[in-house]
Chains A and B, each alone.
Chain A
Amino acid sequence: MAERDTLSGLTAAEAKEFHSFFMQGTLGFVAISAVAHLLIWMWRPWF
């Protein structure tokens, strides 16, 4: 078993791996939201 002396119980390698997936998901969310806002802006700009 890998050395687990962190508060969350993850090793540094696991934390790095999870972080890359977490960032991919976040950027995907932001990309979809940006496209949606662009479409709304083309429909009815709010400024």
Chain B
Amino acid sequence: MWRMWLLFDPRRTLIAVATFAFGMVMLNHLIQLSTPRYGSWLNAPLASTAAPK
């Protein structure tokens, strides 16, 4: 497995993997936040911390 670093330059690979992972993480978080199950807390005020009128 370590032999892959004889083929791929670690610096470019790290940047590519980090960019790809960041993109996927952002995509998945935004998708989940757009669902009623995991995103409903965004617009509905929390019961305990109701926004002042």
Is A10 a contact partner of B38 (Cβ separation < 8 A)? no
Contact across chains for A8 and B8 when beta carbons are under 8 A apart? yes
Please tell me if the beta carbons of A15 and B3 are within 8 angstroms of each other in the complex. yes
Total interface residues on B, CB under 8 Å, equals 14
CB 8 Å contact bits of B4-41 with A (1 = contact, 0 = none): 11111110001000000100000000000000011000
- Cα A46 to Cα B35 with chains together (Å): 12
- Beta-carbon contact of B2 and A16 below 8 Å: yes
Give Cα A6 to B6, complex, Å.
6
Is A7 an interface residue when CB atoms closer than 8 A count as contact?
yes
Q: Which residues of A contact B (CB under 8 A)?
A: 6-10, 12, 14-16, 18-19, 22, 29, 40, 44, 46
